[in-house]
Structure 1
Amino acid sequence: MRIPFLILLVLLIPVSASATSWAYAFVVWDGYEYKMTDDYITEVGERIGEVTTHSEMEQYGGNFSNAYEKGTAYFRVPGVSTDEIMAVKDGDRYRVAERVGEYTYGSSFTDTDSGVAKGIVIAFLFFGVFLTIMTILAFYYMKRG
């Protein structure tokens, strides 16, 4: 009786491991991804934005960063177009970020579609766990009696 109970208990423990592997530190501004360089500058132009969402584990839309906290400021670099580079406040210095291209967040889903898709996946996972538990219990009771 203890073994099926332990198996059931282990199957009910939620296990969720989801992480995105980043090739480099970056920020997103105005729909474009900027790769952080090892270069710093001393003079910056006007403030043009800030990090609105930070995560080291998941990808988000908007002015997202995998390296900088929410509120970290973005600045123009005098004499250079933001099509090439911009500066990001990094402690008491300004780090150069080089534009690498359009930021492709997720897929063609809208936020609502993505939420619905996640709900469907979760429903299938719960159904799979339910079927597994029922199968284990059925085998246990068939063997027992």
Structure 2
Amino acid sequence: MKTFIIVFSILLMSLSLAACSFGKQQTAPDWAYRFVVWDGDMYRATDETVPDVGKQIGKVEHYSDHESTRVTGVFSNEYRKGTALYKIKDVSTEEAIAVESSEGTYVKLEHLGKYGSKDK
């Protein structure tokens, strides 16, 4: 009889724990792509390196890898707070900007349009 009570208790606790976590998201969802929001516009990260950048135009102010995050200012789901953003020489910021992905290495960010726009 003791064995039955122990097994029943373990089963009941297991079901209770499963019920508590039912419907809860266990991990953060993935974004569709890596990006930076700068000056109200969204820029998608590419793998293309930029050999010659111009002046620094900003820094990432907010970082989050949680898709439901909605932040104002300079924001990224890839690059940490403090990461520098640059104008690309002879390229309009309406086309692309660059981000310093590692010391001395710059990656192109393609302009997608206004952040929050449904045209992306």
* Whole-Å separation in 2 of the counterparts to 1:74 and 1:14: 42
**Paired residues for 1:27-42 under 5 Å:** 27-42=36-51
Q: Secondary structure at the match of 1:6?
A: helix
Q: Secondary structure at the match of 1:69?
A: coil
CA RMSD of aligned residues (A): 2.6
Q: Secondary structure at the match of 1:96?
A: strand
- Give the match for residue 114 of structure 2: 102
* Whole-Å separation in 1 of the counterparts to 2:42 and 2:36: 6
**Paired residues for 1:1-145 under 5 Å:** 2=9, 6=13, 9-10=16-17, 11=19, 16-17=24-25, 19-58=28-67, 59-61=69-71, 62-92=73-103, 93-104=105-116
Q: TM-score, normalised by structure 2?
A: 0.72
Structure having the higher helix fraction is 1
Q: Which has the larger radius of gyration?
A: 1
Alpha-carbon shift at residue 90 of structure 1 (Å): 0.7
* Whole-Å separation in 2 of the counterparts to 1:13 and 1:36: 35
Listed as ranges, the gaps of 5+ residues in structure 1 are 106-145
Listed as ranges, the gaps of 5+ residues in structure 2 are none
In 2, are the aligned partners of 1:51 and 1:68 still within 8 Å (CA)?
A: yes
* Whole-Å separation in 1 of the counterparts to 2:65 and 2:46: 18
One-letter amino acid matched to 2:95:
E
Identity of aligned residues (%): 39
Alpha-carbon shift at residue 4 of structure 1 (Å): 9.4
* Whole-Å separation in 2 of the counterparts to 1:72 and 1:101: 21
* Whole-Å separation in 1 of the counterparts to 2:29 and 2:20: 25
| Number of aligned residue pairs | 105
